[in-house]
Amino acid sequence: MMLKIRNPNVGIYAVTNDYIHALEVNDMQRILFVSGTMGLDENAVAGADLAEQLQLVWQNIRAILKNANMTTDNIVRVTSYLRQASFAEANQNARVTALAGRTVPTTSIVVQTLETDWLVEIEIIAAA
């Protein structure tokens, strides 16, 4: 699989260190769409705070990827759903850490959730 970052520099705003406009994926054989994944432990209990939920979300994503014989290196898209806009920086830092600094297209959306103790939900697309 070949990945090519697409960041036009004319007629559009500049990217940042943790953000790209687009990622072109070539010569892939498989694509994995992962549902919104919660910061819940194996007993479906939400982490006590945002930091714990972010750790659990990425732990859960890694488990799903492993089941598909993939790793976080296969992630080509991340969408985060945050209960509060103030969670954006912690979410960004957790994503950067989880992807070891690799940039992929990403969007964060502030939403209400069905359960008040759910603070973050992340869905991904992975390709191999």
Contacts of 47-55 with CB under 8 Å at 24 or more apart are 47/119, 49/119, 50/87, 50/90, 50/119, 50/120, 51/90, 53/118, 53/119, 53/120, 54/90, 54/91, 54/94, 54/120, 55/94
Task: Look up the CATH number of the domain holding residue 36.
Answer: 3.30.1330.40
Phi, psi dihedrals of residue 63, rounded to the nearest 5°? -65, -40
Each residue's pLDDT tens digit, 33-58: 999 999 999 999 999 999 999 999 99
Looking at residue 115, its pLDDT comes to 85
Determine, yes or no, domain membership for 2: no
Task: Answer whether residue 17 is part of any domain.
Answer: no
pLDDT of 86-98, one tens digit each? Answer: 999 999 999 999 9
CB 121 within 8 A of CB 40: no
Residue 76 counted as domain residue: yes
Asked whether the predicted pLDDT for residue 10 surpasses 80, the reply is yes
Number of domains in the chain: 1
pLDDT over 80 (residue 29): yes
Residue span of the structural domain in which 65 resides: 28-127
